[in-house]
Amino acid sequence: MDIIETIKEQIEKNPVLLYMKGSPNAPQCGFSARATQAIMGCGEKFAYVDILQNPEIRTNLPKYANWPTFPQLWVDGELVGGSDIILEMFEKGELQPLIKQAVQKAGA
């Protein structure tokens, strides 16, 4: 399976997916740490991919997503955005219902 197929499959199989540096419990950059805190604040489980452990994904995902930086939050198969967008949506109360709805839809 080529790397783009792997990326597509990860996005399709996980209603909430964060591509980040490190893991939620041990983020490897400040942007990933802030994004993780906001997503965890929504109270739903989410999947993550550590791009530092997956250099092929780190190289190819920006081209696939047309988004150059990490972290990247994908909800229900759609790119939400990076750290600034995640935090802004969380502060406005927009992230919580988006994530909750995607998780509930996936569980249905």
Binding residues for glutathione: 21, 58, 70, 83-84
d(CA 53, CA 39): 21
Tokens of 88: 């802004």
Contact 21, 51 (CB under 8 A): yes
Binding residues: 21, 29, 58, 70, 83-84
d(CA 87, CA 38): 6
User: In the chain, how many H helices and how many E strands?
Assistant: 5, 6
Binding residues for [2Fe-2S] cluster: 29
Contact 10, 79 (CB under 8 A): no
| Amino acid symbol at 104 | Q
